[in-house]
Amino acid sequence: MKSVISTETKPIKMWLNDIDAEALSQARNLANLPFIYKHVAIMPDAHCGYGMPIGGVLATTDAVIPNAVGVDIGCGMCAVRTSLTEIDKESLKTLLGSPKEKRGIRGRVPVGFKHHERAQDESYMPDTAPLENVQNSRVMQLYQAAKKQVGTLGGGNHFIEIQHGDDNHIWIIIHSGSRNIGLQIARHYNQLAIKLNERWKTSVPRKWDLAFLPLNTSEASNYLAEMQFCVEFALANRKLMMERVQQAIEEVVGSVQYEPLINIAHNYAAVENHFNEHVIVHRKGATRARTGDMGIIPGSQGSSSYIVVGKGNPESFSSCSHGAGRVLGRKQAQRTLDLEAEQSRLDELGIIHGMRSKRDLDEAPSAYKNIDRVMENQQDLVDIAVRLKPLAVVKG
Integer angstrom CA distances of residue 377 from 46, 111, 289, 334, 371: 12, 33, 15, 28, 10
For residue 61, which of 280, 282, 318 has the smallest C-alpha distance? 280
DSSP 125: S
For 149-187, give one letter per residue: b (16+ CB within 10 A) or e. bbbbbbebbbbbbbbbbeeebbbbbbbbbbbbbbbbbbe
For residue 185, which of 223, 130, 144 has the smallest C-alpha distance? 223
Residues 190, 343: Cα–Cα separation, whole Å: 39
Instruction: Return the SS3 of 294.
Output: strand
Whether residue 322 lies in the annotated active site:
yes
Element (H, E) at 172: strand 170-176
Q: What is the C-alpha R_g of the chain?
A: 21
Pairing of strands 305-310, 319-321: unpaired
> Looking at 158, 175, 266, 322, which residue is catalytic?
322
Alpha helices, DSSP H only, in the chain?
21-31, 89-96, 104-108, 138-146, 179-200, 218-253, 330-336, 339-348, 371-376
Beta carbons of 111 and 152 less than 8 angstroms apart: yes
Residues 271, 204: Cα–Cα separation, whole Å: 22
3-state helix, strand and coil shares in percent for the chain, rounded to the nearest 5 = 35, 25, 40
DSSP 285: S
Q: Which residues are catalytic?
A: 322
